[in-house]
Amino acid sequence: MYAPAGVRLSADLPVPAQMKAWVLGNPDELFLRDKPVPVPGRAEVLVRIDAVAICATDLEVIHGGSPASIQGGLPFNKNFTPGHEYMGTVAALGPEVDEFGIGERVSVEIHAGCGQCKRCRQGMYTSCLNYGNAAKGHRANGFTTDGGFAEYAINHINTLARVPATMGDAEATLVVTAGTSMYGLTELGGLVAGESVVVIGPGPIGLLAVAVAKALGASPVILTGTRNKRLAIGRELGADRVINIADENAVDVVKQLTGGIGADYVVECAGTEATVNQAIHMTNRGGKICLAAFPHAPVTIDLAHLVKNNIYVYGIRGEGRSATRRAMALMAEKRFDATKIHTHTFALADLPTALRYARERVDDAIKVVVTNRQAGIASAAAE
């Protein structure tokens, strides 16, 4: 029986002592194991995970380890559970927690900073100077601490956002993706309705960056990429113009659409040398670029053009400055429909298949969601 000292439980939502969790072995090896249900600390809750979306970064962690870091090194063969884009139900409360109640549905942020370093005091907990130091209070679930490919997880109360009754589980998992896009625009700062935004790369973050930018009043919102089906979804999410870079010169088109000066903001979500340089050359003087993707190799850029044109470049990691709460507010008000990027759903036991669909883009998979709820599970074949 699960009954840790000081932890508040409810008979209406019983918690087992053991849970099922996927554990990373060698690269590309996952094993379904029994693990003890974790215990929330003073300002933490236990979340029963109801659904978790698969992110491209999860695939990177499972294959190569980075950017996860467990016990100061790669996460392989350390009883580590990956996964970070999850939502669920509060199942138990740590000592002194009164901000949430048992039974509330919540979506989560990845990062909980230590709360005491310079960056955390500035609200930049994704840049916590004690990153990876659990003893100091830092958590990055799915990267430095156990994540969401399991039945339960621990979350700090600062990482939680309530899910409205009108929002389904799968949609709630997408709040992290929308929050990352929101964070990128927040860090670029000062977006005023009517200013132009270009999004490069129609992956999940890029597509929801289009939706968030449009919801915030950007105009025009322009999306570039190579896959017409995804560009079409971008249009549905609010893009005023889409550019297939195989058919058109993106820099030329952006300048034509912005009176020859270039875009005010560019959100780069592809992470290649070519697209980073496209971002540089389609941004206007004094404009801002957000780098939201992880390049897999060093990138050579036109630095002189950046300097001569006073262009600002920002890198982001995750969904900081409480951006998930702002994204949740927009989604709760139906300012955009994030479910347009949700393409497939699998049960937790079928995680390896779900990962294959995400990795190989089977059936044009964009966002694959894994659920612990049995009701309503649709097989990939039925999607």
**Domain spans in the chain, listed from the N-terminal domain onward:** 18-163+337-382, 181-315
- The residues pairing with 106 across neighbouring beta strands, listed in sequence order, are 88, 162
Per-residue model confidence as pLDDT tens for the chain (383 residues): 899 999 999 999 999 999 999 999 999 999 999 999 999 999 999 999 999 999 999 999 999 999 999 998 999 999 999 999 999 999 999 999 999 999 999 999 999 999 999 999 988 899 999 999 989 999 999 999 999 999 999 999 999 999 999 999 999 999 999 998 888 887 767 777 899 999 999 999 999 999 999 999 999 999 999 999 999 999 999 999 999 999 999 999 999 999 999 999 999 999 999 999 999 999 999 999 999 988 888 999 999 999 999 999 998 887 878 888 999 999 999 999 999 999 999 999 999 999 999 999 999 999 999 999 753 333 333 33
The CATH class, in words, for 18-163+337-382 is alpha beta
Q: Does domain 181-315 have CATH number 3.40.50.300?
A: no
Compute φ and ψ for 220, nearest 5 degrees.
Answer: -80, 160
Distance CA 278, CA 301 (A): 10
Beta-carbon contacts of 379 under 8 Å, excluding residues fewer than 6 positions away, are 346
The conformation of residue 37, written as its DSSP 8-state character, comes to: P
The total of other beta-carbon atoms located within 10 Å of residue 98's CB is 8
- The residues pairing with 31 across neighbouring beta strands, listed in sequence order, are 23
Quick one: which of 154, 157, 115 has its CA closest to 138? 115
Compute φ and ψ for 353, nearest 5 degrees.
Answer: -65, -40
Match 């693990």 to its residue by tokens: 35
Distance CA 93, CA 112 (A): 17
Tell how strand 263-268 and strand 283-291 pair up: parallel
- Respond yes or no on whether the N-terminal peptide bond of residue 4 is cis (omega within 30° of 0): no
Extract the tokens encoding 344: 């497939």
Predicted local confidence at residue 378, as pLDDT: 35
Quick one: which of 293, 330, 313, 333 has its CA closest to 179? 330
Distance CA 43, CA 258 (A): 48
**Is the pTM for the entire model greater than 0.85?**
yes
